[in-house]
Structure 1
Amino acid sequence: MKMIIMLYNLGDQIYVWTNRVKVGPYHNPHETYDYFTLPFCRPNLPSSLSAKRGGFSEILEGTILQNSGIIFAFKVDALRTTLCTVSFDTEQVYQMQMAIANHYWYQLDVDGLPIWAKVGDLDISDEKFEEIERAGVRFVMRV
């Protein structure tokens, strides 16, 4: 196994990548989708910065890293900034509701280190959610 050591200087740019095939339900890790099938912020980047491939194992797995549009500077304090502003239509709200209800997770990559997180959390138990869903009530997503 080849180990690559990255050395950064103060202020060097570090990109956060999304794993194209790693968004899906937590309870079924084999069910995965393209990161941008959910209505996440889409960066407007030059094609040279839009995607990159990993090593042999990543190619076999089907991993394709896409630039998330998140960039930070090494060892430089960052101010809170807005990546984008999104207005969801009814279908996109439903997509996010279903992703949250089905415990979808996603994977980001920073300098080869994977970061996993849930798309969102419910403030209620799964049983209560299923009861409300059977009654035909829809949730409004809070940000």
Structure 2
Amino acid sequence: MPADADGAAPEFAHGDILKAVTFWTVLLCDGTHVVRHLERHEPGMILHGVYDGTEQNLGKPIALDAFDATRDLPPVRALPIGKRLAVAYIPNTMFAPDWRDIPGASGLGTSDYQGAETFLSAIDETYTSWMRDIRLAKSRIIVPEPTQLS
């Protein structure tokens, strides 16, 4: 089941070693109840659970077969990968040289697009020129009046 990047709760050991991850997906939100599917990745296994709660509270577990999205999932799935995780943590660059003169800001991280500004600017310039050419070409099209057949 795909999950958004902000729909994960990683657990680390010894600073930066990924120990486990819990992904969640909202299956139902009707204003009072929020039903979530939790997919927990631990070394060598994946655990699935569905919980009925509120916006602030995870709530109580309910049966996996209560929703089509989780009906075919086993509660526990052993993986043939030994004691490794089926997910990986790939951190962004954490040093931001552009912010080194701002106290406390250099460790906030770097944009994924830093260093690609020239390339992105070239794409923008090319696309803008191309769209201008298309607009000018439309103004040159001459469509004759339809002739009436007698």
Q: TM class by shorter-chain length?
A: under 0.3
Greater relative contact order (Cα < 8 A, sep 6+) = 1
TM-score (normalizing by structure 1): 0.19
Q: Based on CA coordinates, which of the two structures has the bigger radius of gyration?
A: 2
TM-score (normalizing by structure 2): 0.19
